[in-house]
Amino acid sequence: MSNWEKNIRKVVPYVPGEQPKILDVIKLNTNENPYPPAPEVEKILKEFNVDSLRLYPDPTVSDLVKAIAEFYGLNENQVFTGVGSDDVLAMIFMTFFNSDKPIIFPDITYSFYDVWADMLRIPYETVPLDENFRIDARKYYGENGGVIFPNPNAPTGELLSLEVVEDIIKNNPDVIVVVDEAYIDFGGESALPLIDKYDNLIVVQTFSKSRSLAGSRVGYAMANPVLIKYLNDVKYSFNSYTMDRLTIEVAAAAVKNREYFEETTRKVIKTREWTKNELSKLGFEFGDSKSNFIFARHPEMSGQKLFEELKNEKVFVRHFSKPERISDYLRISIGTDQQMETLISVLGRILCLKSI
Ligand code: PMP
C-alpha cells in the first residue's frame, strides 16, 4: 500500500438506476415522469441567448427562487435551490447533521442517506419499518442528532398522514427534521404548511418527478429564513455557482405553469391506480403507493427472476437485492397508459410461461 492511501476518504458510492443507451426500451426504473416538461420549457430552449453563457449564472438563483416562492405563497427567504434534491439533501446533511448523537432514518428508504452519512462521517442509526413496510412514528421520539425520512417513503411508496409527520416533528424539537417529499405531488399532503409553526422543519422537493425535469437537475428546500440562511452559507462555502443559466430559466418557466403540472400529475395517478388493479389480477402483492411507482412482489417468482425476464423483453424496472427483506420486490415506475399496458401483458406472459 502506498503511504498516501491512508489519507484517502474512501466511500462506497450510491448506485443510481441504469440509464440504457438504447431508446426503444420501456423505462420504468428511475421514477422519471413519462410526460414532457411544460411547453414553456421548449420555448425557453429555442429562444435562449447563447451569448449569455459567457457570464457566470446568478449565484442566488433569484428568478427561480422567486418563482418557487410565488407558487407556494412563501417569502423568497424561505426557499433554497440546488442541482437536484440530491444536491439539496447533501447540503442539508453537511449543514445540519453535526451532532455526536446519531441521526435516524428508516432501515428501508432512499439508499443515498447512508452514503452521505458515511462520506461526511455522520453517525447514524436506522429504524426498522413495521411488517407492512410502514414508518412507526413512535420509534422516532428518542434522543438523536437529527431525523430524515421520505414521505411517501421510497422505495415502498407508503405515505404518512400530515398528522403523523407533525407528531415526529413535534417530538424532536431539539434537532432538525427533514421531510424528503420527492414524490408528494402524486397524492400526499405536504408538510409545507408546518414550516411557520416549527423552526426545526425542512421540506425538500424536486423538479425530477412531478415537473418532468430529471434531466435538468433541480431541487429545493423550504424552511424558515434562519435555516435557509445556514444552508446558503454552506452552499457558498462549497460552490457558489451550482445551477447554470439555462436551468434557472427552464425551471422558473416550468414552475409557473400550474395547470400543466396538475394535469400531468393527475394522469400519472390515474395510470398508477389502473396498474394496481391489473397487477392484483396477476396475483402481485403491494401496498397502497401514493407515489409515481409501485413496489410489488409476486408469490410465485423471485424478484431477481422477474427483473431479468422483464429486461429480456426490454422492460426496465428497479430491483434491489439488498436488504434481503425487499429482494423479492420490484419497484415499477408509472409510465404512460400504453407503457403500462405493455408491462402488464409482458408480465402476464412471463407468469403464464412459468406455469406451463
Ligand atoms: N429523494 C428521494 C426519496 C428519491 O427517491 C430521489 C430520487 N432518486 C431523490 C430524493 C433525488 O432526486 P433528484 O436529485 O432527482 O431531485
Q: Distance (Å, rounded) from C-alpha 70 to C-alpha 323? A: 41
CA of 98 to the centre of ligand 1 (A): 22
Minimum-distance ligand 1 atom for the alpha carbon of 89: 10
Minimum-distance ligand 1 atom for the alpha carbon of 85: 16
Are 171 and 182 found together in one domain?
yes
Minimum-distance ligand 1 atom for the alpha carbon of 83: 14
- Give residue 356's pLDDT: 57
Bridge partners (DSSP) listed for residue 126: 105
CA of 208 to the centre of ligand 1 (A): 8
Domain that holds residue 171: 39-256
Mutational test site, ligand 1, from 114, 115, 204, 206, max ligand atoms within 8 Å of CB: 206
| Residue bearing the CA closest to ligand 1, atom 12 | 85
Q: Distance (Å, rounded) from C-alpha 7 to C-alpha 19? A: 33
**C-alpha cell of residue 181:** 417529499
- Give residue 149's pLDDT: 98
Structural domain includes residue 310: yes
**C-alpha cell of residue 324:** 434481503
- Going residue by residue through the chain (356 aa), what tens digit of pLDDT does each one get? 799 999 999 999 998 888 988 888 999 999 999 999 999 999 999 999 999 999 999 999 999 999 999 999 999 999 999 999 999 999 999 999 999 999 999 999 999 999 999 999 999 999 999 999 999 999 999 899 999 999 999 999 999 999 999 999 999 999 999 999 999 999 999 999 999 999 999 999 999 999 999 999 999 999 999 999 999 999 999 999 999 999 999 999 999 999 999 999 999 999 999 999 999 999 999 999 999 999 999 999 999 999 999 999 999 999 999 889 999 999 999 999 999 999 999 999 999 877 65
Are 134 and 279 found together in one domain?
no
Are 242 and 176 found together in one domain?
yes
Structural domain includes residue 318: yes
Name the domain boundary from 205, 224, 256: 256
Give the other-Cβ count within 10 Å of 39's Cβ. Answer: 11
Structural domain includes residue 6: no
Q: Taking the model in full, what pTM does it have?
A: 0.97
CATH code where residue 348 lies:
3.90.1150.10
CA of 85 to the centre of ligand 1 (A): 6
CA of 320 to the centre of ligand 1 (A): 16
CA of 48 to the centre of ligand 1 (A): 28
Classified as helix, coil or strand, 204 is strand
Name the domain boundary from 202, 225, 256: 256
User: How many domains does the chain contain in total?
Assistant: 2
- Give residue 355's pLDDT: 64
| Residue bearing the CA closest to ligand 1, atom 1 | 182
Are 313 and 190 found together in one domain?
no
Are 336 and 194 found together in one domain?
no
Structural domain includes residue 104: yes
Instruction: List Cα–Cα distances, 211 to 38, 186, 270, in angstroms.
Output: 8, 11, 17
Are 242 and 142 found together in one domain?
yes
- Which protein residues touch ligand 1 with a CB less than 6 Å away? 84-86, 110, 150, 154, 180, 182, 206, 208, 214, 219
- Give residue 17's pLDDT: 86
Structural domain includes residue 9: no
Are 134 and 218 found together in one domain?
yes
Are 203 and 351 found together in one domain?
no
CA of 110 to the centre of ligand 1 (A): 8
Looking up cell 413496510, which residue turns up?
133
Are 31 and 60 found together in one domain?
no
Are 319 and 294 found together in one domain?
yes
Minimum-distance ligand 1 atom for the alpha carbon of 150: 3
Structural domain includes residue 205: yes
Structural domain includes residue 132: yes
Minimum-distance ligand 1 atom for the alpha carbon of 206: 16
Are 46 and 173 found together in one domain?
yes
Q: Distance (Å, rounded) from C-alpha 281 to C-alpha 266? A: 23
Name the domain boundary from 226, 256, 286: 256
Are 241 and 297 found together in one domain?
no
CA of 58 to the centre of ligand 1 (A): 24
CATH code where residue 72 lies:
3.40.640.10
CA of 331 to the centre of ligand 1 (A): 14
Give the other-Cβ count within 10 Å of 284's Cβ. Answer: 22
Structural domain includes residue 4: no
